[in-house]
Amino acid sequence: MPGVDEKDREILKILRSNGRITLTELGKRVGLSPASVKNRLEKLEKLGAIKGYSAVIDPAFLDEYVSAFLELKLAIDDHTVDSLLKKVAELENVEAVYRKTGERSILIKASFHDTDEVKVFVGRLKDLFGKNLERAEVTLILDTFKEGWIPFERRRG
Amino acid sequence: MPGVDEKDREILKILRSNGRITLTELGKRVGLSPASVKNRLEKLEKLGAIKGYSAVIDPAFLDEYVSAFLELKLAIDDHTVDSLLKKVAELENVEAVYRKTGERSILIKASFHDTDEVKVFVGRLKDLFGKNLERAEVTLILDTFKEGWIPFERRRG
DNA sequence: GCTGAAATTCTGGAGTG
DNA sequence: CACTCCAGAATTTCAGC
């Protein structure tokens, strides 16, 4: 990557598992002054290396008891559906949206209050994609051992 | 959830998509003083509602050009494999580890420098799980529209 | 949960290599 | 051009209420 050196990569790696670290502490770890770290952060954000900062929340505390993956098989999956995928990504309960290889080429991770909400969500997807949506497969998440470079302690089921 | 009120949930929701917000700004949004927000954050972290803070990084800037899902089918998948899954979760290139419904009950998200590294990683999984690993299916991620409650702008391919 | 003062951190400009 | 230094501003922390 142009204009990104080893120190920048160190910063990115640290931030990935420690998103709320102060500039001072970050500077100590990579051997730079807080001001320099700040400059680099602004550069990295502008370049798109840092997409944003997030806290990893246990969904149960937000009354989101059901987390699920939804895999979509589309009749046509080219960049013309990107705007629809962006719409899906903007929904409040949608945590992640990927395009991947394989027949079921869209993967969505989302959380719900109960299974009824899952049904409603699938209905919304059908409305959005219309006839282009050939199949929607739902898989429930039973356990999360790690997420976003931060390990979860296992909750007893 | 006991001991968690509506303001706590507001705080969690805001942090999810804005992990580096200051206590002052957070206080303004939920109508509390910075000191109170701090107290609540400590409570929420202790309760396990907040697992940690993370920056969402574009993997390409860390020379991780290949992101993939690995789905594992295990002969036996009960809590006796949890310690193995924790080991997998601790690997540096592993971003997420889930247990889910369905035949391929383990889902791993990881990033790699190239496809050779994927091969090495699958080999390591075979070593770890031994005969218990019946199948490992690799799916490559082509596009990320959202991750960890933070939207990605689509990168041009 | 608030207040106020002290400690720490952040910020922006001038200066250095 | 990126980094450092430094002073003023903002934030965070910690006491007492």
pLDDT tens over chain A, length 157 residues: 788 999 999 999 999 999 999 999 999 999 999 999 999 999 999 999 999 999 999 999 999 999 999 999 999 999 999 999 999 999 999 999 999 999 999 999 999 999 999 999 999 999 999 999 999 999 999 999 999 999 998 765 5
Type of residue found at A143:
D
- Predicted structure pTM score: 0.95
Running DSSP on this structure, what letter comes out for residue A79?
Answer: G
Type of residue found at A106:
I
Residue-averaged pLDDT of chain B: 95
Distance from CA of A10 to the nearest CA of B (A): 9
Q: Which residues 8-47 of B interface with strand D at a CB distance below 7 A?
A: 22-25, 34-35, 38
Share of chain B above pLDDT 90, in %: 95
Type of residue found at B62:
L
Smallest CA–C1' distance to C2, residue: B33
What pLDDT score was predicted for residue B2? Answer: 79
What pLDDT score was predicted for residue A71? Answer: 98
Q: What angle do CA A107, A109, A112 make, to 5 degrees?
A: 140
Strand C positions within 7 A of protein Cβ atoms: 1-4, 8-13
B33 touches strand C (CB under 7 A): yes
80-119 of A, contacting B, C-beta below 8 A:
82, 85-86, 88-90, 94-102, 105, 107
Indicate whether B111 pLDDT > 60: yes
Best CA proximity match to B23, nearest among A60, A70, A20: A20
B56 touches strand D (CB under 7 A): no
Which residue bears the tokens 């992640």? A96
Å between CA of B39 and C1' of C1: 10
Best CA proximity match to B94, nearest among A149, A138, A31: A149
What pLDDT score was predicted for residue B154? Answer: 64
Best CA proximity match to A54, nearest among B107, B63, B152, B28: B152
Cβ–Cβ gap A86/B145 under 8 Å: yes
| Residues B10, B12: Cα–Cα separation, whole Å | 5
Parts of chain A belonging to CATH 3.30.70.920: 59-147
| Residues A88, A85: Cα–Cα separation, whole Å | 5
Q: Mind listing the pLDDT tens digit for each residue in B29-60?
A: 999 999 999 999 999 999 999 999 999 999 99
Q: Rounded to whole angstroms, what are the CA distances from A133 to A71, A82, A104, A128, B77?
A: 11, 14, 10, 9, 32
- Out of 3.30.1490.20, 1.10.1040.10, 1.10.10.10, 3.30.930.10, which CATH number does the structure's domain B6-47 have? 1.10.10.10
Which chain A residue has its CA at the smallest distance from B152's CA? A51
What pLDDT score was predicted for residue B3? Answer: 85
pLDDT-based confidence at residue B157 (cuts at 50, 70, 90): very low
Residue A62 has its nearest CB partner, among B13, B141, B144, at: B13
CB B74 within 8 A of CB B105: yes
A12, burial (CB in 10 Å: exposed 0-12, middle 13-18, buried 19+): buried
Parts of chain B belonging to CATH 1.10.10.10: 6-47
Q: Tokens representing A86?
A: 């962006």
Running DSSP on this structure, what letter comes out for residue A31?
Answer: T
Q: Mind listing the pLDDT tens digit for each residue in B75-106?
A: 999 999 999 999 999 999 999 999 999 999 99
Q: Mind listing the pLDDT tens digit for each residue in B66-75?
A: 999 999 999 9
Q: What residues of B are in contact with residue A149 (Cβ under 8 Å)?
A: 54, 95
Task: Say if A65 is an interface residue toward chain B (CB within 8 Å).
Answer: no
* Segment holding A54, helix H or strand E: strand A50-57
Best CA proximity match to B29, nearest among B21, B39, B19: B21
CB A58 within 8 A of CB A150: no
A73 touches strand D (CB under 7 A): no
Share of chain B above pLDDT 70, in %: 97
Cβ–Cβ gap A51/B150 under 8 Å: yes
CATH architecture of A59-147: 2-Layer Sandwich (3.30)
